[in-house]
Structure 1
Amino acid sequence: MAFPTIPGALTSILSMLFIIILSTQTSQGSKAEFVTCGSILKLINSDLRLRLHSHDVKYGSGSGQQSVTAVDVSDDYNSHWMVKAPMAESCKRGAPIKCNTNIRLQHVATKKNLHSHYFSSPLSGNQEVSCYGDEDGEGDSGDHWAVVCNNDYWRRDTPVKFRHLDTGAFLAGSGRTFGRPISGQGEIVGVSSQYGAYTDWQAKEGLFIHPGELLPHQHPVHSEL
């Protein structure tokens, strides 16, 4: 049997421990009021009560890219997403995300970005949502989403919507569930109207970076709603 090299094994173990800590610890400080650049969080669909999720399982149709689904468990490490700036741009670590500005959401476990394009979703025939990018987390313009909200900033206690820049579709659940090999997981899609069903998302468990804090591996501050 072939074993991974020590550096590779150590990296995997450290990554897993970091994600487990995100899922289980709570902050000893005050809760962050806003979602900030560099934060790692889970997103729950306000109506379906399912968390946005991905994994190294590819769609069997459409683009064939890494699938994005929704799950009802709160402690699944495959439901963590990092808030990043758009390609070729930067955002200050810990800076609150303004409403109606553009971001990328990077899947922490696989390093790929939440993505969409003009492919049909496998169950409902809406617009497919996938994860895309190379091992460094770089993809293309299909990874850009606008945070649609009515406040000045993306608040943790208020649902927001995500509008895909390339296609104008809104991130949503379809209310349908997959069979094998991901039985029971919900379909995630893009829909044409923000007023369609299941388009509201709220920040949940995660690590929320505060302005002026050290990097997560130096001094993680954990915060849960």
Structure 2
Amino acid sequence: MGNLNCSPFPLLLSSLVFLFSCFLGLSLGTELSFVTCGSVIKLLNVRHNVRLHSHDVRYGSGSGQQSVTGVSAVEDSNSYWSVRGTSEALCHRGTPVRCGQTIRLTHVNTGRNLHSHYFASPLSSNQEVSAFGEEGEGDHLDEWTVQCGGSVWKREEAVHFRHKATEALLSVTGEQYGRPIHGQTEVHAMPSPSQHSQWKAMEGVFMKPSESPAGSREYAYPHTEF
């Protein structure tokens, strides 16, 4: 694996996020108390304090697909994911994500979806988590169910993401890669919920619920804004 930090300009990124939000009439994080479809967010693993991250670097073992890790850096642009519906169930822009709803998480910078399958992860030999597809389109193994305690996914709430096809949960247990990505943490999937599989929505651009039927159209995730 090569150098995974593709964002040397965090100040520029912040400016672009702000301008993008103003242009589309979005919320940058203080107004909405829940996560909505079409939002572009970072996800924090509560136990290990790392953000879900990916990059155009493939695993050297297992599936050979695009690798997914956890990073402690807050400003890295490779940690942005867009919240999308599935091919069978649209996720209309600005609609609150319901507890129990199945979604896709598309990596903004590469257009690949958070994915899992029965390959072994490189460090812990748990279930591998990768990024898969092209331009936001992959397959049924890109689908994750949001598990939370109420009716909708609240931003202050720690939630679980259960992989629909295999029933495993998106997790981090602390194994860290060495050179050349020293300090980045393995992300994998585990069969049972635990403190290692709790995630919280953090920085991002949150789509506001629409006040008119025109806002119900499907959200197309951004390719170049970040």
* TM-score bracket, shorter-length normalisation: 0.7 to 0.9
Structure 1 residue 181, shift from structure 2 partner: 2.6
What pairs up with 1:81-160 in 2 under 5 angstroms? Answer: 81-134=81-134, 136-160=135-159
Instruction: Could you list the structure 1 runs, at least 4 aligned residues long, displaced by more than 3 angstroms after superposition.
Output: 16-20, 23-30, 213-217
* 8 A contact 1:20–1:77 mirrored in 2: no
- Structure 2: distance between partners of 1:175 and 1:23: 33
Identity of aligned residues (%): 49
What is the one-letter code of the residue matched to 1:211? Answer: P
Partner of 1:166: 165
TM-score between both structures, scaled by the size of structure 1: 0.82
Deviation string for 1:76-123 (max 9, x for gaps)? 000000000012331211000000110000000000000000000000
Gaps of 5+ in 1: 1-15, 218-225
Match of 1:22 in 2: 17
Provide, for residues 126-156 of structure 1, a one-character-per-residue CA deviation record: whole Å limited to 9, x for no partner. Answer: 000000001x211001000000011110000
Q: Deviations over 1:154-188 (max 9, x none)?
A: 00011100000110000000211011232210000
> Distance in 1 between the 2:203 and 2:19 partners?
9
Following superposition, the deviation at residue 212 of structure 1 comes to 2.3
Moved more, 28-37 or 71-80: 28-37
Root-mean-square deviation (CA, aligned residues, Å) is 2.6
- Distance in 1 of aligned mates of 2:186 and 2:136: 23
Distance 2:98 2:20 in 1: 27
Distance 1:72 1:83 in 2: 21
Cα deviation for residue 31 of structure 1 reads 1.6
Q: Distance in 2 between matches of 1:29 and 1:120?
A: 36
CA contact 2:29–2:203 (8 Å) conserved in 1: no
Change over 3 Å in CA distance of 1:211–1:65 after alignment to 2: same
Q: Higher RCO, 1 or 2 (CA under 8 Å, sep at least 6)?
A: 2
Count of matched residue pairs: 200
> CA 1:145 to 1:24, structure 2 compared with 1: closer, same or farther past 3 Å?
same
Q: Per the alignment, do residues 80 and 210 of structure 1 end up closer, same or farther by CA in structure 2, a change over 3 Å counting? A: same
Normalized against structure 2, the TM-score is what? 0.82
Map residues 6-21 of structure 1 onto 2, 5 A cutoff: 21=16
Is 2:177 the partner of 1:178?
yes
**Unpaired stretches in structure 2, ≥5 consecutive residues:** 1-10, 22-26, 222-226
Tell whether the 8 Å contact from 1:99 to 1:150 is kept in structure 2 after alignment.
yes
